[in-house]
């Protein structure tokens, strides 16, 4: 509705403006909070948000992309109340630009994934990984860009751990996010990809051939950070508490993540 104030008497116009100004804070309070989250959390976090809304809360607005992309946007001033990063490095970088409180929320494992039914299963991770050059054939190994994407950094570390990086030079296919890399695998554009164990739970076109040993790469930790300079701190704290609740814990585990014991920040 458009109100033409020029046609109102001054006193009535002033009264109307005052009423609208009093309503404005309430209207802002009704807006949903925004959560920026790593692409690998999409399906699991969407289910958590739906469960939160089912308890009578306003469903948060979810934005998914690579952790690096989201951290840079937030550092540049993008408005969001919560940030779930796929590693601690990007959370720390954001903390240098904006005030926030963060603590670990989830753990994950790195996995070698293939399009379902296209690769023989692995008996053990190490021989499977050492056979990568042969398993790739004429194709390339898809992974997140190690320069920007946490999953790619973990993957590069694992390839280095097994001495495969020199052998696979020129045979890596870096992507702007882990989900882009795995989409290439799902479409048959790459025979194999490095992603998360949780991806194999929620992407029906893919299967995990091997879960890599934890010692092959840095620990995979998803911290949850709350932006202290964002509005609606109460609602942000409420959703944060829900994501750490026993009910949410069961859902995280079902999605292939490992909930980490850590109390929400006040």
Q: How far is CA 185 from CA 42, 134, 143, 179, 197, in A?
A: 18, 17, 10, 10, 15
Q: Do the two domains 31-107+220-259 and 110-216 of this chain adopt the same fold?
A: yes
- Give, to the nearest 10 degrees, the angle between helix 246-254 and helix 42-54: 150
The CATH topology of domain 31-107+220-259 is D-Maltodextrin-Binding Protein; domain 2 (3.40.190)
Class of domain 110-216: alpha beta
CB proximity list for 114: less than 8 A, separation 6 or greater: 185, 191, 192, 193, 206, 207, 209
CA–CA separation, 144 and 182 (whole Å) = 9
- Residue-by-residue pLDDT tens, the chain, 266 positions: 334 434 334 445 444 444 444 444 444 446 899 999 999 999 999 999 999 999 999 999 999 999 999 999 999 999 999 999 999 999 999 999 999 999 999 999 999 999 999 999 898 999 999 999 999 999 999 999 999 999 999 999 999 999 999 999 899 999 999 999 999 999 999 999 999 999 999 999 999 999 999 999 999 999 999 999 999 999 999 999 999 999 999 999 999 999 997 554 44
Q: Pairing relation of β-strands 141-144 and 34-38?
A: unpaired
φ/ψ region of 222 (left if φ > 0, alpha if ψ in -120 to 50, else beta) reads beta
Q: Cα-atom radius of gyration of the chain, to the nearest Å?
A: 22
- Domain-wise residue ranges, the chain: 31-107+220-259, 110-216
């Amino acid at each position: 509705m458009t109100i033409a104030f020029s046609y109102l008497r001054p006193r009535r116009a002033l009264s109307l403006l005052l009423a609208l100004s009093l309503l404005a804070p309430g209207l802002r309070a009704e807006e949903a909070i925004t959560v920026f989250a790593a692409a690998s959390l999409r399906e699991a976090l969407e289910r958590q948000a739906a469960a939160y809304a089912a308890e009578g809360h306003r469903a948060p607005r979810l934005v998914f992309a690579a952790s690096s992309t989201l951290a840079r946007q937030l550092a540049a001033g993008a408005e969001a109340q919560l940030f779930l990063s796929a590693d601690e490095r990007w959370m720390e970088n954001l903390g240098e630009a904006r005030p926030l409180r963060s603590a670990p929320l989830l753990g994950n494992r790195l996995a070698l994934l293939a399009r379902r039914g296209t690769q023989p299963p692995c008996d053990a991770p190490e021989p499977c990984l050492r056979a990568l050059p042969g398993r790739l054939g004429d194709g390339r190994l898809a992974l997140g860009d190690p320069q920007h994407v946490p999953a790619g950094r973990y993957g590069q570390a694992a390839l280095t751990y097994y001495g495969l990086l020199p052998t696979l030079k020129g045979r890596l296919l870096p992507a702007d996010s882990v989900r882009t890399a795995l989409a290439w695998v799902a479409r048959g554009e790459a025979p194999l990809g490095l992603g998360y164990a949780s991806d194999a739970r929620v992407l029906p076109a893919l299967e995990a051939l091997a879960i890599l040993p934890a010692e092959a790469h840095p620990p995979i930790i998803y911290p949850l950070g709350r932006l202290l300079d964002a509005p609606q701190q109460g609602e942000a704290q409420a959703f944060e508490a829900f994501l750490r609740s026993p009910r949410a814990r069961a859902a995280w585990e079902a999605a292939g993540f490992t909930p980490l014991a850590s109390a929400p920040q006040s």
